[in-house]
Structure 1
């Protein structure tokens, strides 16, 4: 297995792990906080993740595309293309639906009324679970493909 293959699997795997952590651990803890603390914590998380994640998503897509080019003609080529297309679709899904919600949550003031941001956070959480499922499928496709190409 080549270094680029390992880097691709690790970075995409860490991305999926990060998104799972948000859904499985961070958000359930957030729901247990009082409204003021929840608004503040969500604003902080939304701000920092909103700055970092676009670069991480983009880097993973670039790596998937490089892998598809490098491995064209090999057994794993089509799953790599599928993973690349799915990853690009996830980015579009994120930009169209999740980023606007994230931006509104990040801009929340600590004293914002619960009824203003709670529905936004619940909606983001539901859409985020869809994104996690799609990310997991893309990761499995890419990992399977790269293992096939490494034989």
Structure 2
């Protein structure tokens, strides 16, 4: 049963990493190449769509890692799992404090009512997101290593 939990948790976190990586390095650069109004609308729609799903995914991943850490405490790799959980906790805190406030504003923007500094806010979100992606990649790597 523990083995199934380990694999399931690693897959859930890995898919989350893939989504967030693609947002950072594929989707947002594509949107950035579109005309200004299209970029704004694309970011707003993405903010609404992913803003509804990602909190559940992040918290769910953290819970799964915590359950793995407790259930596998006496097994090899437990320290890696705990460290991965700590990194996921940092990503959640970072999301709540830095990324969600920008996303909450951005998902309501339209070409008619966008703030003057919307591009600067989007760039700030992107910079924070790059850091968050690095953190969750590290967490995923630790979980994958703990499996071996």
TM-score (normalised: structure 1): 0.92
- TM-align CA RMSD: 1.3
Aligned residue pairs, count: 147
Report the CA distance shift for 1:113/1:103 in structure 2 as closer, same or farther (over 3 A).
closer
Pairwise CA distance, 1:142: 1.3
Quote the offset at 1:114 in angstroms: 7.1
Secondary structure of 1:115's match? Answer: coil
TM, length-normalised to structure 2: 0.94
The separation in 1 between residues aligned to 2:64 and 2:20, in whole angstroms, is 19
TM-superposed deviation, 1:115: 3.4
What secondary structure does 1:57 align onto? Answer: helix
Q: Residues 120 and 104 from structure 1, CA distance in 2 versus in 1: closer, same or farther, beyond 3 angstroms?
A: same
Match of 1:3 in 2: 4
SS in 1 for 2:117: helix
Q: Provide the rounded CA distance (Å) in 2 between the counterparts of 1:112 and 1:29.
A: 23
Structure 2: 5+ residue stretches without partners:
none
Q: CA offsets per residue over residues 119-150 of structure 1, 9 Å max, x none?
A: 01001001100000000001111111122xxx
Structure 1 stretches of 4+ with a deviation exceeding 3 A read: 112-115
